[in-house]
Structure 1
Amino acid sequence: MSTEAVRQPQQDRSRATRQRLLAAAIDCLAELGWTGSTVSVVAERAGVSRGAAQHHFPTREDLVTAAIEYVTEERLAHLRQGLPDLPPGRDRTEFVVDTIGEMYASKLFSAALQLWVAASSDSQLREKVVPLEARVGREAHRMTVEALGADESRPGVREAVQATLDLARGLGLANLLTDDAKRRSRVLRQWAMTLDAALS
């Protein structure tokens, strides 16, 4: 058996372990918060030894930095998957608004929020979180405009799209303490009608 053939399964296992650690870090951040998401806790959740975790991420800072990037990519992927090509009109607007609402009510947003809170009092973490959050914001806005087929050259359209994202984020915050699904659904349905009128 060639060295390359041996190396490939090892690389696959290494990638799988890394992926499990990142997914576990997201779960821990969403469920246990920043202080509860230690390397040991994340390793246990991932089903790997602390040593294996530290092989991939020598410090908590390394793990969290990778988790921030992972959360960013996952949130953007979640949004991309949820916004397929739809015919214009109210159904399209309602689907897009619901999809954005779901993104901000998800575990990924809960994990991201824990990072925001920790970054608010940790300047090193803030330096990593702020540019990634700015990227998520830009991409979310761009994808929403595209999914809605919105013409931002028209007065008020850009602001209406941004208001959609801000509203969904606020509803996601409300969902952290209690299950707010029914109220969120009513608010988003009403907003979809308002947004559709602004886009027409």
Structure 2
Amino acid sequence: MPSASAERGQVTRQRLLEAAIALVGEVGWGGVTTRMVAERAGVAPGVVHYHFSSVTSLLITAGVGFGRVMLDELGTRLAERPGIDEGVDWLLGELSRYTGTDPASLLVSEMFLASTRLPELRERLEELVTRFRSQVAAWLRARGHRGDSEAAATVFAAAVDGLMMHRALDPRLDLTRLAGPLRAMLKEESTA
């Protein structure tokens, strides 16, 4: 059983991670400072560096943790869909909750941009995206896709990412209207 001190440390660490996630959406990856995170989390600035070696380390940990939860949930819930049509429709419906300017969308966009300059972030995001594509490929194979499931999963994931960027530029874009072409692409070599 963890000590009361260890539990308080975990609670503080979680507050720092949550503060970092919120601030990235508000001021951008490069705009987040130790003082801002500490103020948002309700702690002294030195506490940030007690838990993380730098603001960059905090941002990477927070962003990758957020991305892992989001992609794992999408992959798990996609796997529950009985067919390709239902899966595509469900995923586009889920993604329609994101406007492109909401905190989650902004965090993901900022992470992708920051990963072009931060090798550690790029490597960790690559792991997340690779795992998600593997989940999609397994889902496709289980639903009768006979072609190159890994390639189809990669194109599908990239299309979804691109659609989310388009949605940020055009909030009126109805992602659910785009299900037909995506379904056709994925079913092209399927038995289902």
TM-score bin, normalised by smaller chain = 0.7 to 0.9
- CA displacement at 1:169 relative to structure 2: 0.3
Q: Which amino acid aligns with 2:158?
A: D
Match of 2:179 in 1: 188
Aligned length: 189
Distance 1:161 1:62 in 2: 30
Secondary structure in 1 matching 2:162 = helix
Secondary structure of the residue aligned to 1:176 is helix
State the partner residue of 2:30. 35
Pairing 1:45–2:40 present:
yes
Identify which of 11, 14, 32 aligns with 1:16: 11
**Partner residue of 2:154?**
162
TM-score, scaled relative to structure 1: 0.76
CA-CA distance at 1:66 after TM superposition? 2.0
Q: 1:114 — aligned with what?
A: 110
- The runs of 5 or more residues in structure 2 that have no matched partner are none
Match of 2:171 among 169, 172, 179: 179
CA distance in 2 between partners of 1:102 and 1:147 (Å): 23
Distance in 2 between residues matched to 1:25 and 1:44, nearest whole Å:
11
Matched, 1:139 2:135: no
- Indicate the residue corresponding to 1:88 in structure 2: 83
CA distance in 2, matches of 1:174, 1:92: 21
Q: Structure 2 length normalisation: TM-score?
A: 0.78
Q: CA deviation at 1:143?
A: 1.3
Structure 1 residue runs without a partner (length 5+): none
* Counterparts of 1:31 and 1:97, CA distance in 2: 26
Amino acid at match of 1:188: A
Sequence identity of aligned pairs in percent?
Answer: 22
2:120 corresponds to: 128
8 Å contact from structure 1 (residues 103, 109) kept in 2 = yes
Distance 1:145 1:102 in 2: 24
- Specify the alignment match of 1:60 in structure 2: 55
Q: How far off is 1:136 after superposition?
A: 1.5
Is the CA contact (8 Å cut-off) linking 2:92 and 2:176 kept in structure 1? no
Change (3 A) 1:63 1:27: same
Distance in 1 separating the partners of 2:158 and 2:45: 39
RMSD across aligned positions (CA) = 3.0
What's the CA shift for 1:57? 1.9
Residue 178 of structure 1: CA displacement? 4.6
Shift of 1:69: 3.3
